[in-house]
Chain A
Amino acid sequence: MTEEKTKLIDENGIRTDGRKSDELRPVSIELGYLKHADGSVLYEQGKCKILVAVFGPSEVHPKHLELPDRAILRVRYHMAPFSVDERKSPAPSRREMELSMVIRNALEPIMMTELFPRTVVEVFIEILQADGGTRVAGLTAAALALADAGIPLRGIVSGCAVGKIHGTMVLDLNDTEDKEGDADMPIAYIPTMSKISLLQMDGLLTREEFRQGISMAINGSMKLYAMQVAALKSKYNLPEGQEKEETQ
């Protein structure tokens, strides 16, 4: 650790934004934010502000992409030019192409695509304001927008990053922690299936830290899951214990 780096975590384990090592940033969920989309959400996690819209199932264009036995999923993760400190070109970057792919791969396992063959479900994730962990926050929001669109799902996926700052494993990195920390590990968990559908890591971690990171991320995802479920229930006025979005 070099001297000039800002101190990201103090002796008492408190981070720059006042959080403890295993604490999530505050989350706010506004379902149905857009009128035209079939499902939508404005999702905020700390300073991250993300808008997700879902369209479909609808006819596939171009037609040759359709599959006879399942719906296809089309996912776009995109950062607005004004979402970061220095303006980002609106053209899709290599990073955005990779993230669109890993998010799609993380959503596929929860979707009951076999129920509506020869159609497409489109998920558009716009990062309006980025502050670390946007791929997993975008994924968490996408799961909400899919549920809001009434698409049959096997479960809800909740994503959360863990990382290492000054030798300590911490939950839900913000941008400074992500850039100056030693490792970043985005994970997505499907609580009803006990499965991980997104797993990436870059940085340097011991194998033990990696194990610890997985369990921390699962705990974080469970907390996000509770918030996702509460938001959906309150929009659709579902009483406790009746979880329609979890088709078994």
Chain B
Amino acid sequence: MSVTKEHSVISRILHKEMLDLLAKDKRIDGRSLSEFRKIEFETGLLKKAEGSALVTLGGTKVLVGVKVEVGTPFPDTPDQGVLTVNAELLPLASPTFEPGPPDERSIALARYVDRSIRESKSIDLEALALKPGKVVYVVYVDVYVLDYNGNMTDTAVLAAVKALENTNMKKFNIEGDVPVFSGELMPLIVKDYPVSTTFGIVGEKWFVDPDLEEEQASEGFTSFTYTRDGNLCAVMKNDQGYLSPPQIFEMLDTGWEKAKEIGRIMNWRSD
């Protein structure tokens, strides 16, 4: 069941202010329409996790921990390892997040991060089958939103991919049907580096990387995730608004330019 949420009174005042500014191609915090906030990252900051990354995008902080275990494959994909993405909107990240079972926002976030990784084939799931049909590696990606100041989607995708790139997992051998720890570690092979770019939408205007104020005042959001080659591996329109086809095509091109820029910041590309 999904229910309409209340938009705060502040958001309506902001909405008007944003409309006036956007008419002049300006934004509340002075950024240009296609300007991201500053991106910083740190990897391997957790010792118990096989892989970890903390990504900061402006005031938004997302921590991702990767745990790898051995387990059984899904019956419909017996020759593939398992990738599981979960997202927690922690109550310490925002006064609007409440503890409890995942709500539709955290589910949508987790499923978007999952699609970005899975559909870009960043992880070769077939290479994670130890004994097809019986024993496979299970990769758990847990997304922890620590500080929410807008655009957690892009931050979460970056942190998840960075954490996977940082993952050093136990290498198992198969003896009979039983996985036995070999005593060695091996890196998880990451084959693609998907980058998500999210746009806020107000009327016919769009802008990249909405911060918290802009999120509250926007009518809708759309995220595009690009592979390294510039193909799309996930797209999602969020929130109540609507889009016109020309608007979508403009965002599609701008998003790719931004994804390349971000890829360079993350050390995923050098062109």
With A72-B4, A203-B233 known as contacts, the answer to whether A197 contacts B252 (CB < 8 A) is no
In the complex the two chains form, what is the Cα distance from A185 to B234 in whole Å? Answer: 9
B4 adjacent to A211 (CB under 8 Å): no
In the complex the two chains form, what is the Cα distance from A205 to B233 in whole Å? Answer: 7
With A193-B242, A214-B245 known as contacts, the answer to whether A74 contacts B232 (CB < 8 A) is no
B107 adjacent to A204 (CB under 8 Å): no
Contact string, A67-85, partner B, CB cutoff 8 A, digits 1/0? 1001011111000000000
Contact string, B226-240, partner A, CB cutoff 8 A, digits 1/0? 010011111111111
Chain B interface: which size bin?
35 or more
With CB as the reference atom, state the residue of chain A lying closest to B109: A98
B231 adjacent to A75 (CB under 8 Å): no
Residues of B contacting A105 in the complex (Cβ-Cβ under 8 angstroms): 220, 237-240
With CB as the reference atom, state the residue of chain B lying closest to A185: B235
A194 adjacent to B240 (CB under 8 Å): no
Any B CB within 8 A of the CB of A29: no
Any B CB within 8 A of the CB of A100: yes
A204 adjacent to B227 (CB under 8 Å): yes
Residues of A contacting B240 in the complex (Cβ-Cβ under 8 angstroms): 105, 108-109
Contact string, A201-224, partner B, CB cutoff 8 A, digits 1/0? 111111100110011001000000
In the complex the two chains form, what is the Cα distance from A197 to B220 in whole Å? Answer: 10
Cβ of A87 to closest chain B Cβ, rounded Å: 14
With A195-B244, A196-B248, A214-B248 known as contacts, the answer to whether A201 contacts B3 (CB < 8 A) is no
Any B CB within 8 A of the CB of A200: yes
In the complex the two chains form, what is the Cα distance from A65 to B6 in whole Å? Answer: 8
Residues of A contacting B107 in the complex (Cβ-Cβ under 8 angstroms): 94, 97-98
Residues of B contacting A190 in the complex (Cβ-Cβ under 8 angstroms): 242
Any A CB within 8 A of the CB of B115: yes
Cβ of A171 to closest chain B Cβ, rounded Å: 16
Residues of B contacting A95 in the complex (Cβ-Cβ under 8 angstroms): 111
With CB as the reference atom, state the residue of chain B lying closest to A77: B2
A199 adjacent to B243 (CB under 8 Å): yes
With CB as the reference atom, state the residue of chain A lying closest to B255: A207
With A202-B115, A204-B232, A207-B230 known as contacts, the answer to whether A75 contacts B2 (CB < 8 A) is yes
- Which residues of A from 50 to 73 have beta carbons under 8 Å from B? 65, 67, 70, 72-73
- Which residues of B from 12 to 67 have beta carbons under 8 Å from A? none
In the complex the two chains form, what is the Cα distance from A19 to B220 in whole Å? Answer: 35
In the complex the two chains form, what is the Cα distance from A214 to B234 in whole Å? Answer: 14
Any A CB within 8 A of the CB of B10: no
CB contact between A101 and one of B6, B108, B118, B232 (< 8 Å): that residue: B108
Residues of A contacting B98 in the complex (Cβ-Cβ under 8 angstroms): none
With CB as the reference atom, state the residue of chain A lying closest to B3: A74
A-B contact count (CB 8 A): 122
With A98-B108, A211-B252, A214-B248 known as contacts, the answer to whether A200 contacts B2 (CB < 8 A) is no
Any B CB within 8 A of the CB of A9: no
Cβ of A90 to closest chain B Cβ, rounded Å: 14
In the complex the two chains form, what is the Cα distance from A97 to B104 in whole Å? Answer: 6
In the complex the two chains form, what is the Cα distance from A195 to B243 in whole Å? Answer: 5
With CB as the reference atom, state the residue of chain B lying closest to A202: B115
B4 adjacent to A67 (CB under 8 Å): yes
In the complex the two chains form, what is the Cα distance from A76 to B244 in whole Å? Answer: 26
A109 adjacent to B242 (CB under 8 Å): yes
A65 adjacent to B3 (CB under 8 Å): yes
With A94-B111, A98-B111, A104-B4 known as contacts, the answer to whether A204 contacts B233 (CB < 8 A) is yes
Any A CB within 8 A of the CB of B186: no
Any B CB within 8 A of the CB of A198: yes
Cβ of A154 to closest chain B Cβ, rounded Å: 10
- Which residues of A from 94 to 123 have beta carbons under 8 Å from B? 94-95, 97-98, 100-105, 108-109, 113
- Provide a sorted-by-A list of 22 A–B residue pairs whose CB atoms are within 8 angstroms: A72-B4, A73-B3, A74-B4, A98-B107, A101-B104, A104-B3, A108-B4, A183-B119, A190-B242, A194-B244, A195-B242, A195-B244, A196-B243, A197-B241, A199-B222, A199-B248, A200-B235, A201-B232, A201-B236, A202-B115, A205-B232, A211-B252
